[in-house]
Chains A and B, each alone.
Chain A
Amino acid sequence: MSEILRPQNDADIVEVVQQAAAEKVPLEVAGRGSKRALGRPLQTAGRVELSALSGITLYEPEELVLQALPGTPMAEIEQVLADNHQLMAFEPPDFGPLLGGAGGDGSIGGTLACNLAGPRRLKAGAARDHFLGVTAVSGRGEVFKAGGRVVKNVTGYDLMKLLTGSYGTLAVMTEVTIKVLPRPEKTYSLLLYELDTDQATRAMTRALSSSHEVSGAAHLPAQLAGTSKVSYVNQAGAPVTAIRLEGPGPSVQHRIQALSKELSDLGTHEALHSQNSLAFWSEVRDVLPLVAPTDRLIWRLSVPPAAAAEIVSRIMQTVDDCFYFLDWGGGLIWLSLPPADDGHAAAVRGALGNGDGHATLFRAPENIRAAVPVFQPQAAPLAALSQRLKQGFDPLGLLNPGRIYQDI
């Protein structure tokens, strides 16, 4: 790893990429570098960070759009939005602490490139669903734009979708436009205690199948509930299942009563109000219950929500000393496993069975991430197509080569 290049503008980026092309020297591309430990490790001579390309370039709250340079800190965007009673509805997590960093240092470019999504995923979608327009420099060293700055647009291919979740392997973003939405006036959460994982999955399914517009559904086994800073959660001494409702005050009050009644056969309930509810969901969002001990492996499983309990139980049968919690009503399983050279990949991916779903080795030492496929391997025809797409943007394989899969 030689040096960090911090381009000041689009022209600098074009130059860096063109030079890299001329020299055939691959580049590591990052926003502010807070998620460098995510994905397959890179071995590039050059490293580009976009931290100098920072700043909100346009914000029109009434149009629900915000435009920013890719290195703009998430904290800055969140603050400006909060001042205007708005937010990024996909509830972007801060994975800094989980990935061994300080936290609070993510960028909008990195958030989009990794397609982040928080607990509201099940109602509001992920970063991909809020990415309206982009200007970027391809691995060919050419500037291109796609999308627009309005919330509804189907002109041309949706290249924003391709760039979200591409981990910087297709192009270096130079400006992005996202959709923003009003901040919910109130947030309450209904806590259900003492449900085992199977019961909790069913309870969340019932809540999500109601008309109450649930915007978060998570389940923490007793041990992890104990790590919360929210007293209603850490003093439970039992598993805690949380269902979040957001919206105008009278509506939230009505819905929480109605939901509590509908789930009254499931034992004791408690309601978390504003501050406590916000605090709890940010812990879930940032996966704080699993940050420590830091030497453990973290897996992220995205599965059909109703299958969560069954998949967890299969993993528990093959791996000892396993912690986990559920988000997205069961659709997201966060798993903490003891260190192992093989990352327990076979046990984890095997537990998915033949059904839908995939597993990502989200936190592991570099050598393990180099040896174990970090992202679920794709079927051959899909892998071949992904490779052809990569070539269409970055034919020489200059940008973050191997970050997702060995060949893209």
Chain B
Amino acid sequence: MRMPDPDRSTIAAKPQIVADLAEIVPGEGVIADLDELRAYESDGLTAYKQPPLIAVLPETTAQVAAVLAYCKTKGIKVVPRGAGTSLSGGALPLADGILLGLGKFNRILEIDYDNRCAVVQPGVTNLGITHAVEGQGFYYAPDPSSQIACTIGGNVAENSGGVHCLKYGLTTNNLLGLEMVTIDGEILRIGGKQMDSPGYDLLGLMTGSEGLLGVVTEVTVRILKKPDTARAVLLGFPSAEMAGDCVAAIIAAGIIPGGMEMMDLLAIHAAEDFVQAGYPRDVEALLIVELDGPQVEVDHLTEAVSRIAQQKGAVSIQASRSEDERLRFWAGRKAAFPAVGRISPDYYCMDGTIPRKALPQVLSRMRELGEHYQLRVANVFHAGDGNLHPLILYDANEAGELERAEAFGADILKLCVEVGGVLTGEHGVGVEKRDLMGEMFNEADLNQQQRVKCAFDPQSLLNPGKMFPQLHRCAELGRMHIRGGKMPFPDLPRF
């Protein structure tokens, strides 16, 4: 993965930059020692490593603004970072860049139950928000698997999802407001406790912008009352195709479950060996369907889902009978990644989304690709929204296996696009999928996206090397080639 060429003069000026930054962020907020910097050298995508030039850990919005304004003046690149759990290398540092860690922004500023929202700093963890409000029976809905560790600021940057997003939405559907700082050091307030804002939807644009447009310093999220109860149903099928049909039939019946997950044989066995969730071992595909709401609704829908599953050929149907059992059913799914980690020295997690009806085609092509690359793949799948997480098993100590795994992964993502899907459902483009963007977007599409970047950061100092395969100069992108002009306007052809 090629990153932008490091700027030697910036690297040479490190002592001066450290001194300047220490003026802005006093105390222990500036880290320059290489051993300490190693803590930041990679994020959740551990295949890539690069210690930053300097790490800065500000504590106030004013400090963030001053750091960014300083970097802008000096032309220094900045990589923002929350907890560093990105699976796409979104927080991968640069050799000539500053890593801006938001970990010290860890306070919950306000909980406003009457307006059903919480105002928090970006370093608060996803689960931390729920913990802060659950005493009153509320929770924050998006629940990425990394929710114990990942921060809400990172969630905003990546537009994180989770197993419940089919029903409750992604991060973008659960935000009300932001405070952010631009690379100019300007502090912007977007949205608030009301449900919409006038002008362009910068809140929506910022969400999922992967740290390329600004640094989020405060987040206002919607909080929801917890459903009265929830029940999980395990449905085992002789084939993934039949399980896929069942998912389609459930949705066609007008049911949007709280969660609907699929696992294939390899994933089922890995999970079962690891946590003994009570999964059937003799099925090719397992669905976990969670229904939530008042008891009467959950009972009603459990019955409806079981009936549909039966019609669609399920060979085992098990509805959780207690909260303990429900949690055990989920424990297997939630432990699927580490479980796969036990059966293979390394694994590479993919994140494409496909139209669900293409599932049989995609699975069969994936089997062929597996044979071609001589690598196994375990499939975990947010079945409700078509978001695939194939886990490619490899051994980094075997020469060439990482490269084969990466090539396999790229082929899977190209396949997703080919059948009408997309490169990433929830993990982001980052560095990982950057060079695949051309599979989904043509040059005009990517240029238009970069013009958005130019409106925020014309020098491309914020998180460069992420998301876009090629960086164009903003002046070049802004040029407009006007052709025509032969006909005067009133003579335009009638349509």
Interface residues of A (CB under 8 A from B): 2-3, 5-8, 12, 15-16, 18-23, 25, 45-46, 52, 60-65, 85, 115, 117, 121-122, 125-126, 128-129, 138, 140, 142-146, 148-162, 164-166, 170, 181-183, 185, 205, 208-213, 247-248, 250-251, 253-255, 258, 302-307, 328, 331-332, 355-358, 360, 375-376, 378-379, 381-383, 385-386, 388-389, 391-393, 395-396, 404-405, 408
Contacts and interface: CB of A to CB of B under 8 A. Distances in A.
Which 9 pairs between the two chains have the least Cβ-Cβ distance?
A: A161-B204, A356-B192, A251-B297, A22-B485, A392-B451, A182-B254, A304-B193, A306-B114, A388-B455
A28 to B, nearest CB: 13
Contacts of B453: 157
A375 B189 CA distance: 17
A156 B449 contact: yes
A62 B115 CA distance: 35
B188 A385 contact: yes
B338 interface: no
Interface of B: 112-116, 137, 158-159, 161, 165-166, 169-170, 172-173, 177, 182, 186-205, 207-209, 225-228, 248, 251-252, 254-256, 293-294, 296-297, 300-301, 353-357, 382, 385-387, 420-429, 433, 437, 440-441, 444-449, 451-456, 467, 478, 480, 482-485, 487-490, 492, 494-495
Contacts, number: 305
Contact of A358 (B194, B429, B433): B194
A183 B170 CA distance: 21
A404 B386 CA distance: 37
Contacts of A205: 114
B195 A8 contact: no
Given A125-B173, A150-B353, A392-B451, A356 B495 contact: no
B455 A379 contact: no
Contacts of A386: 199-200, 202
B204 A382 contact: no
Contacts of A164: 201, 204
6 contacts: A52-B495, A63-B355, A63-B357, A154-B158, A158-B172, A304-B194
Contacts of B357: 60, 62-63
Contact of B294 (A251, A328, A378): A251
A196 to B, nearest CB: 18
Contacts of B166: 151-152
A183 B254 contact: yes
B135 to A, nearest CB: 14
Contact of B197 (A23, A331, A332, A358): A358
Contacts of B447: 142, 144
B482 A21 contact: yes
Given A62-B251, A162-B205, A381 B297 contact: no
Given A18-B482, A151-B385, A251-B293, 9 more contacts: A64-B251, A117-B196, A161-B201, A161-B205, A182-B256, A258-B294, A304-B112, A304-B192, A358-B197
A63 B172 contact: no
Contacts of B488: 23
Given A19-B487, A356-B192, A385-B182, A154 B426 contact: yes
A115 B484 CA distance: 34
Contacts of A22: 482-485
Given A145-B445, A251-B297, A392-B454, A129 B173 contact: yes
A332 to B, nearest CB: 8
B106 to A, nearest CB: 24
A20 B467 contact: no
